[in-house]
Amino acid sequence: MQCLTTWRIRRRPRRIEFFQGTLARTGEIDGVRIFDTTLRDGEQSPRTSFSYDEKRDIAEVLDDMGTHVIEAGFPVNSDAEFEAVRDISNATDTTVCGLARVVDKDVEAAIDSGVELVHVFVSTSDVQLQDSMHASREEAVERAVSCVERVKEAGVECMFSPMDATRTDDDFLVEMVESVSEAGTDWINIPDTCGVATPTRFMDLVRMVRENTDARVDVHAHDDFGLATANAIAGFEAGAAQAQVSVNGIGERAGNAAFEEVVMASEALYDVDTGIDTTRITELSRMVEEYSDIPNPPNKPVVGRNAFSHESGIHAAGVIENSDTFEPGVMTPEMVGATREFVLGKHTGTHSVRKRLEEIGYAPTDSEVRAVTRLVKDYGADKERVTMADLRRFAREENVTREEEVRA
């Protein structure tokens, strides 16, 4: 805790006020806690399975970065899963969470694994109660209360999730929230299990839950309509204290709110200090990409390989002059451990070509830059990828002056 506090004190304040428009003010969010579920919901991505060592590697980086909670898995699932959750709990400094259905053996396995937080869940929407759980509303409440009480009797922090909350009758959702709150749950998680929430409706739901519990509120958004990160942020604006995320947004179906997106939106757009070391975000993303075998699309926000890349002549020229012209400004590649790249291709302008030639030891004249740029554009127009080897070849073809020749 002391190290984290010191890091926050030394942090350089941002200059968000420099920008006009939507960045002219901040203050909508008081604080942000990050609950990472990469090792649980993320691993539930179809055709994804982390080995014991891979789980440990990911957990170590999440822990080092300052992630507030790591949901390490579903302890009752298997002996290997139980051991992985137990070992991660023993090896990390952060709060480690284990998942449990409202089933006695699940809860006991989670408690026995040594986690600091047990996450208990039960379906609350009628469609899931009837066609998945095959239980009544009354049975769901009874099981939920019993399991929350058992977790608290064991002296462990408890989180309760009314699964499919966004498709649950409001009155029954309030009944469930009030019942588990009376049973002593520390957290209420509001899951948008099927990704149907919109930011405004989700804010209303979060506010409704907060009005009916003294527990802290957490949100879990799925990305079926591409709204997961927006809904997580809407949850914070409505007063939620924490959001559940996964690295690269992996998870069931279309995935979850992405760790990197929620963290950087909070840090850069809302000026909230999450306490997370953002400079390791790209490293973490690449690790999860490799272990999950789910490739990031190049245009993935924050961590995609195009996130800080420029090809268009107008954009590249502006960024070379001042990166704030065509990048957010409040989020730089250095902040997330990435690098800026000027890509050569059909849309490349002379500024990019000159910069790349100079980087590899040339001192081109204006006419030489124009000549090489024509070759780059023609080559790129045929949908060919222009590599640095190609650029060197074009430079030789046009007899571009090398820097040492100028010095001589």
Please write the tens of the pLDDT for every residue from 58-96.
999 999 999 999 999 999 999 999 999 999 999 999 999
Region class of 43: left (phi > 0), else alpha (psi between -120 and 50), else beta: alpha
CA distances from residue 247 to 66, 70, 359, 385 in whole angstroms, order as listed: 14, 12, 34, 29
CB 248 within 8 A of CB 222: no
Residue 219, phi then psi, degrees to nearest 5 = -130, 150
Say which residue the tokens 């957990």 belong to: 59
Give the pLDDT of residue 256.
Answer: 98
One-character DSSP codes across 45-64: STT----HHHHHHHHHHHHH
Give the pLDDT of residue 407.
Answer: 59
Is 220 in the same domain as 347? no
**Of 292, 319, 344, the domain-final residue:** 292
Is 270 in the same domain as 334? no
CB 274 within 8 A of CB 311: no
Is 224 in the same domain as 287? yes
Residue 334, both tokens:
């250095």
Is 133 in the same domain as 265? yes
**Of 243, 263, 292, the domain-final residue:** 292
Give, for 346, the enclosing helix (H) or strand (E).
none
Is 284 in the same domain as 323? no
Is 260 in the same domain as 347? no
E strand segments, 58-175: 69-73, 95-101, 117-123, 157-163
The segments of the chain whose pLDDT lies below 50 read 1-11, 15
Is 355 in the same domain as 286? no
Domain containing residue 371: 309-407
Whether 244 is in a domain gets the answer yes
Q: Which residues contact 385 (CB under 8 A, 6 or more apart)?
A: 345
Q: Which residues contact 250 (CB under 8 A, 6 or more apart)?
A: 38, 42, 45, 48, 256, 288, 292, 294
Residue 365, both tokens:
């004249």
Region class of 363: left (phi > 0), else alpha (psi between -120 and 50), else beta: beta
Is 141 in the same domain as 192? yes
Is 123 in the same domain as 236? yes
**Of 292, 322, 353, the domain-final residue:** 292
Record the pTM: 0.89
Is 314 in the same domain as 287? no
**CB neighbours of residue 76 within 10 Å:** 21
Give the pLDDT of residue 366.
Answer: 94
Region class of 251: left (phi > 0), else alpha (psi between -120 and 50), else beta: left
Q: Which CATH number goes with the domain that contains 237?
A: 3.20.20.70
Is 156 in the same domain as 227? yes
Is 203 in the same domain as 349? no
Whether 25 is in a domain gets the answer no
Residue 382, both tokens:
């045929």
**pLDDT tens digits for range 369-378:** 999 999 999 9
Domains: count for the chain: 2
Give the pLDDT of residue 21.
Answer: 82
